[in-house]
């Protein structure tokens, strides 16, 4: 048995891969593959509408939010967001919470379109920083936040930070959240967000699709130079069929949505994700060899970076993991150490196999 802990592109549910394989060359008796269908055909339209509807059902998306299927990835949205939201003011200001590598990139990209105010940036990316009201601009076009930092393993939802008194932006402020690596892993309160976006290759499906959810009233704020294919209002008006969408990636995402519905939906996944993450963090915390540097309050349930107290054992650890069928555990190059990404598709058995291997390795070498 192979378990793939890659941060992304990441593992998919085996049932989804099997179904995709079965339907690869002949989608449900129509004689051709999904890849070969016109995006204007009635067959593809079924796939497209079902995927949109199932996504809405899974996250309980309110009626005043539009779901868009786009391309360009998470990084693409770092430019597409300011292009769509900074059209109303001449010298737009964008607030960014820099809580890890990905939001740092978002701040960097926004410089091309707006004046960037860093709301907060902790010295080390091991916490989600407090963001009191006085740190936000009074007239920002939006405040950007990455709710799950995939590299650093820091996770927070704005609704939780607000409940703790650690998020001071007024309710009318527009929050844009990069949820690339934890969308669909837990329920979210849409009233806290103006826009959320996520690349598909972490917790949705395969690379090529980016899902954007935009509140209706934010669709008419684009700059004049926003490319039409990236213009949310244009894409929304055409139900994400303005130009050719990433049809095969949408098909795969649709299969994953069906799989999630069969698993009991997002609330059921959240409960399982909690158990998986707890098992791994408990193993790390109980060990003399492994440690996590993220504040327990902010530890991601999706991406778990951890380190060995003796760096010289890293190569042996990765070899032992591979031997046990546990792949892609090497940490991000900027952090070193290890990282286990345990998205929705990772079964509890995969995490059990990992912690067993970790315990054996510690007994043998430490
Ligand atoms: C992976 C990731 C991105 C970048 O996605 P691309 O599709 O490679 O552009 C952005 N933000 C977060 C949080 C990510 O995990």
DSSP string, 36-88: GS-TTSHHHHHHHHHHHHHHHHHHT--TTEEEEEE-SHHHHHHHHHHHHHSSS
Query: Is 202 noted as a catalytic residue in this protein?
Result: yes
Beta bridge partners of 154: 149, 299
Q: What is the pTM of this model?
A: 0.98
- Residue with structure tokens 């002949």? 26
109 Cβ below 6 A of ligand 1: no
What pLDDT, on a 0 to 100 scale, did the predictor assign at position 89?
86
What pLDDT, on a 0 to 100 scale, did the predictor assign at position 90?
86
- Residue with structure tokens 């200001």? 93
Query: Is 102 noted as a catalytic residue in this protein?
Result: yes
54 Cβ below 6 A of ligand 1: no
Which of 7, 102, 125 has the most ligand 1 atoms within 8 A of CB, as the residue to mutate? 102
Atom of ligand 1 nearest to the CA of 199: 7
**Residue 331 per-residue DSSP state:** P
Euclidean distance between the first and the last CA atom of the chain, given in angstroms as a whole number: 27
Determine the Cα–Cα distance for residues 267 and 279; give it in Å rounded to an integer. Answer: 19
Phi-psi region of 165 (alpha: psi -120 to 50; beta: other; left: phi over 0): left
Q: Which of 102, 232, 276, 330 is catalytic?
A: 102
Pick from 356, 42, 87: which is nearest to 226 by CA?
87
Question: And the tokens for 286?
Answer: 């109980």
Question: And the tokens for 5?
Answer: 């802990």
Query: Is 232 noted as a catalytic residue in this protein?
Result: no
What pLDDT, on a 0 to 100 scale, did the predictor assign at position 285?
98
Pick from 296, 306, 309: which is nearest to 362 by CA?
309
**DSSP-H helix ranges across the chain:** 14-22, 42-59, 73-85, 101-110, 158-163, 232-237, 247-262, 265-286, 314-323, 348-365
The CB density around residue 257, as the number of other CB atoms within 10 Å, is 23
Determine the Cα–Cα distance for residues 82 and 252; give it in Å rounded to an integer. Answer: 29
284 Cβ below 6 A of ligand 1: no
What pLDDT, on a 0 to 100 scale, did the predictor assign at position 80?
98
Per-residue pLDDT of the chain (366 residues; tens, 9 = 90+): 999 999 999 999 999 999 999 999 999 999 999 999 999 999 999 999 999 999 999 999 999 999 999 999 999 999 999 999 999 888 999 999 999 999 999 999 999 999 999 999 999 999 999 999 999 999 999 999 999 999 999 999 999 999 999 999 999 999 999 999 999 999 999 999 999 999 999 999 999 999 999 999 999 999 999 999 999 999 999 999 999 999 999 999 999 999 999 999 999 999 999 999 999 999 999 999 999 999 999 999 999 999 999 999 999 999 999 999 999 999 999 999 999 999 999 999 999 999 999 999 999 987
Enclosing H/E stretch for 269:
helix 265-286
* Cα 32 to middle of ligand 1, angstroms: 32
* Cα 202 to middle of ligand 1, angstroms: 8
């Amino acid at each position: 048995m192979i378990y793939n802990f890659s941060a992304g592109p990441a593992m998919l549910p085996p049932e989804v891969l099997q179904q995709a394989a079965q339907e690869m060359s002949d989608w449900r008796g129509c004689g051709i593959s999904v890849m070969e269908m016109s995006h204007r055909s009635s067959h593809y339209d079924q796939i497209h509408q079902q995927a949109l509807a199932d996504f809405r059902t899974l996250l309980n998306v309110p009626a005043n939010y539009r779901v868009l299927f786009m391309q360009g990835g998470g990084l693409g949205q770092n430019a597409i967001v300011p292009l769509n939201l900074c059209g109303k003011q001449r010298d737009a200001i964008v607030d960014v919470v820099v809580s890890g590598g990905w939001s740092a990139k978002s701040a960097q990209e926004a410089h091309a379109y707006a004046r960037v105010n860093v709301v907060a940036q902790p010295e080390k990316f091991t916490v989600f920083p407090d963001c009191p009201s006085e740190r936000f601009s009074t007239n920002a076009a939006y405040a950007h936040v990455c709710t799950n930092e995939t590299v650093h393993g820091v996770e927070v939802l704005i609704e939780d930070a607000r409940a703790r008194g650690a998020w001071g932006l007024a309710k009318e402020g527009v929050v844009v959240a990069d949820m690339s690596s934890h969308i669909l892993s837990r329920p979210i309160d849409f009233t806290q967000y103006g826009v959320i976006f996520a690349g598909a290759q972490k917790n949705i499906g395969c690379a090529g699709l980016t899902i954007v959810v935009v509140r209706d009233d934010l669709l008419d704020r684009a700059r004049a130079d926003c490319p039409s294919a990236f213009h949310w209002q244009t894409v929304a008006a055409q139900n994400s069929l303005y130009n050719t969408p990433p049809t095969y990636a949408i098909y795969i995402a649709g299969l994953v949505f069906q799989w999630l519905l069969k698993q009991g939906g997002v609330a059921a996944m959240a409960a399982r994700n909690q158990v998986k993450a707890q098992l791994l963090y408990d193993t790390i915390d109980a060990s003399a060899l492994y440690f996590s540097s993220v504040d327990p309050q902010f530890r991601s349930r999706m991406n778990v970076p951890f380190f060995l107290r003796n760096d010289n054992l890293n190569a042996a650890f990765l070899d032992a993991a591979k031997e046990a069928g546990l792949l892609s555990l090497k940490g991000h190059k900027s952090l070193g150490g290890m990282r286990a990404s345990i998205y929705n598709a990772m079964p509890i058995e995969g995490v059990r196999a990992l912690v067993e291997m970790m315990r054996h390795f510690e007994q043998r070498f430490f």
